[in-house]
Amino acid sequence: MSIFEDNNRRLADIRELEGISEAEMSVLDNPVQTKYAELEVNGRKYPAWRIVYNRALGPGKGGIRFHPDVSEDEVKSLSFWMALKNSLADIPYGGAKGGVKFNPKDSNQEELEAISRAYIRAFHEYLGENKDVPAPDVYTNAQIMAWMLDEFEKINGRHEPGMITGKPLEIGGLALRGDATARGGYLIIKEMAAEFLRGRRNKKIKIAIQGFGNAGLFMTEKLFNDGYKIIAVSDSQGAVYNEDGLNIPEIIKLKNSGQSVGVYSGGRKISNAELLELPVDILVLAALENQIIKENAPRVRADYLVELANGPISYEADLILEKNKKIIVPDILANSGGVIVSYFEWAQNKTGQILDEEYLRGLLGKKMKLNWRRVYEKYSEKNGAITLRQAAYILAIRKILTAEKWRG
């Protein structure tokens, strides 16, 4: 089953739970804009997409990923999640996403720059600070955003830093953006632990983290510094496990030197699949989509799962985990710190007003805690009849539908 079909099943559940009419929900059945292009670079063609799912709350907003498994189904699903995430976060954006199908690990800097600029040439007329605002995603970064901004401004003959976020500081970015997704997820874990693990000391709470990219690494560091026991971490090449706890600063040094976490000598090497089934309190999913599916869901032993990545748990796995009394903190809540800080960057670019970083860090914290509280209260008022994911979806969808009604 495709990721998007999974999304439609989740939407159908919300429609039934809330008694929403089919006509109302039809505005979320499909994206409002789907654009496809083949980028021609050095004699090769690269499939590329930019999809806007909904614009009821504002311009499109969502990252661009470079990955060999990018597909229209994936980008469409990611844009759907962005629409809900932005709505839940209470920021004035619709949802969008983009991607290019290739393996950036096989490309040098010159090729990456050429592909980045080719992407903007293909889609520039659909982008802009008031149309659709990209950002970094899987295997894209501040440098790629800078190339894209430069190409957009050259084509249009004007400065418009608000057309893209996640930029370097020198051309309109925010220092806070670098670890915003991890910081937001870390704050959500603290709120969740305070609610569900009351009385448990941090050093007694065991955590495994799948995915040691930017978001996973920064979150692991913050949790370790806060005294939580990190017993396993993984990257795309493998995983390492130590029941007594890992020395996270040493693993970060290895990772920053270009090595895999698997070379760390202070633990036992295991597979990604084994990590997902460890007996931990909290499992953080910070890799890619569909990591827990119906085949491995029955073997998940973590009591609490946090989706720092987008869509790491399939619909059928959701049902199994719910039956097994597992608590899942959904992606549209857990990883929304990145887009909230992207909003800060966009607003600063549009207004020209420079805001204090400490003020923005505090504002991010307030928004993450408020969003957790709203989702938890919706979950609690139903007395266990819905999941945290369904509570988040209800809040996000209701806001989008209300905006659509006001628009007629």
Contacts of 375 (CB under 8 A, 6+ apart): 88, 333, 388, 391, 392, 395
Pairing between strand 206-210 and 282-285? Answer: parallel
97 in catalytic set:
yes
User: Which phi and psi (to 5°) does residue 52 adopt?
Assistant: -110, 125
pLDDT tens for each residue of 353-382? 888 989 999 999 999 999 999 999 999 998
**pLDDT for the residue numbered 150:** 98
Residue 338 DSSP symbol? H
Query: On the CB side of 219, how many CA atoms lie within 13 Å of its CA?
Result: 35
| Domain spanning 7-175: CATH superfamily | Leucine Dehydrogenase, chain A, domain 1 (3.40.50.10860)
Cα–Cα distance list, 32 to 44, 53, 54, 151 (Å): 30, 5, 6, 26
Pair 240, 270: CB distance under 8 Å: yes
| Spans of the chain, pLDDT less than 50 | none
Measured in residues, the chain has a length of 408
- For residue 359, with 0-12 CB atoms within 10 Å meaning exposed, 13-18 middle and 19 or more buried, which class applies? exposed
Enumerate the domain spans of the chain.
Answer: 7-175, 180-334
To 5 degrees, how large is the angle CA 314–CA 311–CA 306? 95
How far are the Cα atoms of 122, 134, 154, 239 from residue 60, in angstroms, in the given order?
Answer: 17, 8, 22, 36
Measured CA to CA, the distance from residue 10 to residue 211 in angstroms comes to 25
Selecting among 61, 97, 255, 378, the annotated active-site residue is 97
For residue range 190-212, list pLDDT tens digits in order: 999 999 998 788 889 999 999 99
Question: Can you give the pLDDT at residue 2?
Answer: 82
- In the three-class reduction of DSSP (H, G, I as helix; E, B as strand; rest coil), residue 324 is classed as coil
pLDDT of residue 1: 61
194, 164, 160: which is closest to 177 by C-alpha? 164
User: Would you call 33 helix, strand, or coil by DSSP?
Assistant: strand
Q: Is 245 left (phi over 0), alpha (psi -120 to 50) or beta?
A: left
User: Could you give the CA distance from residue 236 to residue 99 in angstroms, rounded to a whole number?
Assistant: 19
Structure tokens at 7: 């999304």
* Tokens 């199908």 found at: 101
Task: Tell whether domain 180-334 is in CATH 3.40.50.720.
Answer: yes
> 159 in helix, strand or coil?
coil
Decide if 7-175 and 180-334 have a common fold. Answer: yes
Tokens 């007003």 belong to 353
Produce one character per residue of 79-112: b if its CB has 16 or more CB atoms within 10 Å, e if not.
bbbbbbbbbbbbbebbbbbbbbbbebeebeeeeb
| DSSP code of residue 382 | T
Residues with Cβ within 8 Å of 171's Cβ and at least 6 positions away in sequence, in order, are 146, 149, 161
